Structure 1
Amino acid sequence: MAKVAVMDDLDEKTTAIVDAARTTFLARGFDAASMDQIALTAGVSKRTVYNRFRSKEELFGAAITETCRHLLPVNVSDIEDTLPPDELIRALSRVFVKGILEPEALSLRRIAAFEAERTPAIGKAYIEHGPASMVAECAPILARLAARGHFEIDDPEAAIWQLGALITEPLHTRVLMGDMPSDLDAAIDHQVENGVAAFIKIYSPKN
């Protein structure tokens, strides 16, 4: 399962290519975006792009990875050490929901959904570099909380998927379809509070 990459780990040209890819995909969509245009925007040769990314699908995955790095705080371990378990989950959930409702994240989700039927690799890249990668990042947090007796969780990854659904729906689908609440921040707070409360109810120790 892919791990969310950090741009600081990439060399200068690769960083430029990924940034150019994000800009180009957002402006033109996947199908109309060309490797030539991405190379031109990045200020590198087409050969340089292909030396680092074997296909446009792989580059789209890199663009998703870069977007995902904004969805969680950098120092999650510091937050984990300073907040009670319930507040930790609320804090991370709020940051995550705000992140996926950012215009760039919504646009990339729409592009992936539109292209996935005729190009399944795009849908697979979105899942692998987006939701599945975030699950892989967050599941160990739940595992540690469960090990300390705060929750009863046998499958942390399945629990993270469930938490994701609880804290995002129906708000995410509404916003994705253009039904923007008049007060987005209040809608996020309401969605997160209800979702986290349901999650805690499901996974709190029964004894």
Structure 2
Amino acid sequence: MAARKKKSRKGDDALPYAERKSRDILVAARDLFFRRGVEAVTLEEIAEAAGVAKTTIYYKFGRKEDVFVAVFDQLGENAVAGFPGDVDLNAPPRDTLLRLCTQLMTALANRELMGPEPLFLLEAKRNPELGRRFFEMGPGRMRSALEEIIKAWVDRGHLDVTDTKEAAEDLAVLCQGLLPIELQIFPDLKLSEDEIAHRVVRGVDKFLAIYGAKG
């Protein structure tokens, strides 16, 4: 009975032991870093929170700074998970743009990424290479995906765009408005799904009014 209970305790306990330990370390480190800051957290505290030995962290990641880089990389991957997904390039762009911009806005409204004095920005100031890496993995990858989709729509006559990079950035700005600033000034601000949808519809319709093919 005991063995059977242990097996069914968590669905993701089916993960291989090594992967499960890596996951536990990153979850614990992420929580500690965001609550207390990287400087204030020790490897011993991460090990205790993750239920592993300190040597296990050294073996899997290295120093505390290396653990933070792994957390940082995971955030970048999570920000673009599932983006852009399946896109029907022959269909009118609006429905697809609404879906893509909802993904973008949901990532942007993530407090861990864009809260007051966000941790990743503070660490990027200390390590510019880390900031560049995060941008390329997250926002940069999303922009590149949007550029490719916009270009395909231009080729099919759905959009009238000269500079695809500029158009992709315009789309993001039209949807987010002053949200990045709002999130930093108002620490308790949280967007509901309806509020995100309102901003997305407004932004996408303005984008199409500017770039939609005429006639």
CA distance in 2, matches of 1:203, 1:84: 13
| TM-score using structure 2 length | 0.68
- Give runs of aligned pairs for residues 128-207 of structure 1, distance below 5 A: 128-153=136-161, 156-178=164-186, 184-205=192-213
Larger radius of gyration: 2
Q: Which amino acid aligns with 2:171?
A: L
SS, match of residue 74 in structure 1: coil
The alignment-based identity, stated in percent, is: 27
User: Who is 1:35 aligned against?
Assistant: 43
Q: Report how far residue 139 of structure 1 moved.
A: 4.0
- For the pair 1:100 / 2:108, whether they are aligned, the reply is yes
CA distance in 1, matches of 2:66, 2:162: 33
Decide whether the 8 Å contact of 1:171 with 1:187 is kept in 2. Answer: no
Decide whether the 8 Å contact of 1:181 with 1:187 is kept in 2. Answer: no
Structure 2 unaligned segments of length 5 or more: list them.
1-14
Mean CA deviation greater in 143-152 or 52-61:
52-61
Structure 1 unaligned segments of length 5 or more: list them.
1-6
Mean CA deviation greater in 61-70 or 195-204:
61-70
Correspondence for 1:89 among 94, 97, 104: 97
User: Who is 2:4 aligned against?
Assistant: none
Which one scores higher on RCO, CA 8 angstroms, separation ≥ 6? Answer: 1
| TM-score using structure 1 length | 0.70
CA distance in 2, matches of 1:34, 1:125: 24
Deviations 1:18-75 (A, max 9, x none): 2222212112122223334333333334444344435555543433443455556738
Q: Which amino acid aligns with 2:149?
A: I
User: Who is 1:12 aligned against?
Assistant: 20
CA distance in 2, matches of 1:136, 1:61: 23
Q: Report how far residue 108 of structure 1 moved.
A: 8.8
Q: Report how far residue 163 of structure 1 moved.
A: 2.1
